[in-house]
């Protein structure tokens, strides 16, 4: 597609429920990234994919967070048993590949509110 597409754009969920956030990267981009943006923490790296594999999952906050990517394209970030501290904007981004210096393009984010 023309840009990185994320859905849903807004999600309100009850504490303890599971949520899935979807990312559709720019066509042809092999690298895909998930970041989280919150007031207290700024922009935090969560995980990135090169193709379908995830060489770096170091930013996932806990084992309640997981992500997968299939077919080298769409990715899903899943948060199980959501907590109020998970409320944030979840940003997906993609780039042509993982070479440093490549431009990373961001989606508009999925705003998650846990009540």
Contacts with another protein by CB under 8 A lie at: 31, 33, 35, 42-43, 45, 48, 56, 91, 93, 95, 97-109
Q: How far apart are CA 82 and CA 89, in angstroms?
A: 14
Q: Which residue in this structure is represented by tokens 């080298």?
A: 72
> Which positions ≥6 away from 21 have C-beta within 8 Å?
6, 7, 8, 11, 76, 77, 78, 79, 90, 92, 110, 112
Instruction: State the minimum distance, in angstroms, from the CB of residue 57 to another protein.
Output: 11
Instruction: State the minimum distance, in angstroms, from the CB of residue 4 to another protein.
Output: 8
Sequence-ordered alpha helix ranges (H) in 6-113 = none
Instruction: State the minimum distance, in angstroms, from the CB of residue 69 to another protein.
Output: 16
- 39 vs 115, which CB is nearer to another protein? 39
Q: Are strands 88-95 and 75-79 parallel, antiparallel or unpaired?
A: unpaired
Q: Which helix (H) or strand (E) holds 96?
A: none
- 37 vs 76, which CB is nearer to another protein? 37
Instruction: State the minimum distance, in angstroms, from the CB of residue 87 to another protein.
Output: 18
- 74 vs 104, which CB is nearer to another protein? 104
- 14 vs 58, which CB is nearer to another protein? 58
């Amino acid at each position: 597609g023309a840009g990185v597409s994320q859905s849903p754009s807004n999600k309100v969920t009850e504490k303890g429920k599971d949520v899935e956030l979807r990312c559709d990267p720019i066509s042809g981009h092999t690298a895909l990234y998930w970041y989280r943006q919150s007031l207290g923490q700024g922009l935090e790296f969560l995980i990135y994919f090169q193709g379908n594999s995830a060489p770096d999952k170091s930013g996932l906050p806990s084992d309640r967070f997981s992500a997968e990517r299939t077919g080298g394209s769409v990715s899903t970030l899943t948060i199980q048993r959501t907590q109020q501290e998970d409320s944030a904007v979840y940003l997906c981004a993609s780039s042509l590949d993982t070479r440093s210096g490549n431009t990373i393009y961001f989606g508009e984010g999925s705003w998650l509110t846990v009540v």
